[in-house]
């Protein structure tokens, strides 16, 4: 038997749930299909939980636009819906004269993205704010913050369900095809049950699995499905109390933002992520184990801005994997493609939704909603 519905969202991470909420609030009938046994078990549960200001991304890119828009939406949403968060701010630090020369360019770049609240401070001022910090200069970003990602996921789902959305866990899309004006999805549960869903609109928000899921759509041209590349980021936590009250970021490096210090809402410090490219072709074969030997690089990186980091104070915490669109460290934009781009009626694919995906989630949802209405 085929269930006929208006809209299917594949993936119950923070982006998928934000999209489902937006469509449900717009009066659309929504079913969320999630292969895992709970929501947000992928990228959404394996990140820094940082609300990004929008400093680094290429001006004019979707990442730049949706991060700045999403940050404002996310702060407002967390305040209105009582999702735990903190606008703690961050210091972007230069630890050499050569790095200090890049600060002005970074601030100008951020301003192009609509981030106008960065303040350049000297080493003495930075040390007043964070006495344990070593730097030759810094940029203070007051609009950077942290959020309880689990609480955010739960609230997005609650809002979506309150407006009629239905969540189907442990349900894997294994095939899809156009049938008349709709797309028919073949779905298999972990118990082996099979069902078909027929929808006018399908949104592939599968995160790490998005390219693999896109290949399930019969008739979607292969040139519109990017290859999957995976960049692992390892995190180490600090044993003991941290002397910092703000996030501390070194200057960006190839493939990431450097080994930075972030805080959770309990004040516990953690460091990461680093960048470890994985020679893996299938998202189902990812290994999230943290190699303790990588801590040696962490100590060296962290001590550039915190020389007093004690020996043996880093503990393996967790890792996450970013869905990349290329195998290089070149920064790629979000790729959100609908029928205008790929010619497949009723399908919207989201590829490469890495950081700042969490910050951008509500803005991504509005973007996808508008794209569906224009299609």
Residue 267 in any domain: the answer is: yes
307 and 165 in one domain?
no
pLDDT tens across the length of the chain (375 residues): 688 999 999 999 999 999 999 999 999 999 999 999 999 999 999 999 999 999 999 999 999 999 999 999 999 999 999 999 999 999 999 999 989 989 999 999 999 999 999 999 999 999 999 999 999 999 999 999 999 999 999 999 999 999 999 999 999 999 999 999 999 999 999 999 999 999 999 999 999 999 999 999 999 999 999 999 999 999 999 999 999 999 999 987 655 567 899 999 999 999 999 999 999 999 999 999 999 999 999 999 999 999 999 999 999 999 999 999 998 878 899 999 999 999 999 999 999 999 999 999 999 999 999 999 865
Alpha-carbon gap, residue 270 to 342, rounded angstroms: 41
Phi/psi class of residue 19: alpha, beta or left (left: φ > 0; alpha: ψ in -120 to 50)?
A: alpha
311 and 177 in one domain?
no
Residue 82 in any domain: the answer is: no
95 and 232 in one domain?
yes
246 and 316 in one domain?
yes
313 and 233 in one domain?
yes
128 and 211 in one domain?
no
In the DSSP assignment, the letter for residue 107 is: H
139 and 93 in one domain?
yes
Q: Where are the beta strands (DSSP E) in the chain?
A: 2-10, 30-33, 50-51, 85-86, 90-94, 119-122, 137-141, 145-147, 166-168, 171-179, 182-189, 194-204, 229-238, 247-249, 260-263, 269-272, 276-278, 314-324, 335-337, 347-351
CATH of the domain at 103: 3.30.9.10
* Among candidate residues 121, 147, 148, 118, the one with its CA nearest the CA of residue 136: 121
243 and 139 in one domain?
yes
320 and 234 in one domain?
yes
Helix, strand, coil tally for the chain in percent (to 5) = 30, 30, 40
Residue 220 in any domain: the answer is: yes
Report helix, strand or coil for 253.
strand
CA dist 282 → 54, 272, 306, 359 (Å):
30, 24, 38, 26
Residue 79 in any domain: the answer is: no
- Quote the number of domains for the chain: 2
| Residue where the block lists tokens 């192009």 | 112
Geometric angle at alpha carbon 37, from 35 and 40, rounded to 5°: 80
294 and 239 in one domain?
yes
Q: Domain range holding 352?
A: 2-47+150-226+332-374
Residue 53 in any domain: the answer is: no
Stated pTM of the model: 0.96
């Amino acid at each position: 038997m085929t269930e006929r519905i208006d809209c299917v969202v594949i993936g119950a991470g923070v982006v998928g749930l934000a999209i489902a909420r937006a469509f449900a609030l717009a009066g659309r009938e929504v079913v969320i299909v999630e292969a895992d046994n709970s929501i947000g078990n992928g990228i959404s549960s394996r990140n820094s939980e940082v609300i990004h200001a929008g400093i680094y991304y290429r001006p004019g890119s979707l990442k730049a636009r949706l991060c700045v828009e999403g940050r404002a939406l996310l702060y407002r949403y967390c305040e209105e819906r009582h999702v735990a968060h903190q606008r703690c701010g961050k210091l972007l630090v230069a630890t050499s004269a050569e790095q200090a020369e890049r600060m002005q360019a970074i601030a100008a770049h951020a301003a192009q993205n609509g981030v106008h609240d960065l303040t350049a401070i000297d080493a003495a001022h930075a040390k007043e704010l964070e006495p344990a910090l070593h730097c030759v200069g810094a940029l203070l970003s007051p609009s950077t913050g942290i959020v309880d990602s689990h609480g955010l996921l739960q609230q997005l789902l609650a809002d979506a369900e309150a407006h009629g959305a239905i969540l189907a866990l442990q349900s894997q899309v294994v095939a899809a095809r156009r049938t008349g004006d709709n797309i028919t999805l073949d779905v298999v549960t972990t118990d082996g049950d099979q069902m078909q869903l027929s929808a006018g609109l399908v949104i592939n928000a599968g995160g790490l699995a998005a390219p693999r899921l896109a290949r399930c759509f019969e008739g979607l041209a292969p040139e519109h499905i990017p290859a999957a590349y995976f960049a692992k980021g390892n995190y180490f936590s600090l044993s003991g109390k941290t002397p910092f009250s703000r996030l501390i970021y070194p200057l960006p490096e190839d493939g990431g933002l450097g080994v930075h210090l972030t805080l959770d809402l309990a004040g516990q410090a953690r460091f990461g992520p680093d960048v470890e490219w994985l020679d893996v072709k299938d998202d189902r074969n990812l290994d999230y184990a943290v190699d303790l030997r990588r801590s040696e690089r962490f100590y060296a990186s962290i001590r550039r801005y915190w020389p007093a980091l004690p020996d043996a104070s880093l503990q393996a915490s967790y890792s996450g994997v970013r869905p990349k669109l290329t195998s290089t460290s070149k920064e790629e934009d979000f790729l959100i493609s609908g029928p205008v781009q790929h010619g497949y009626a009723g399908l919207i694919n989201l590829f490469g939704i890495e950081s700042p995906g969490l910050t951008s989630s509500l803005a991504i949802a509005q973007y996808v909603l508008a794209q569906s209405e224009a299609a």
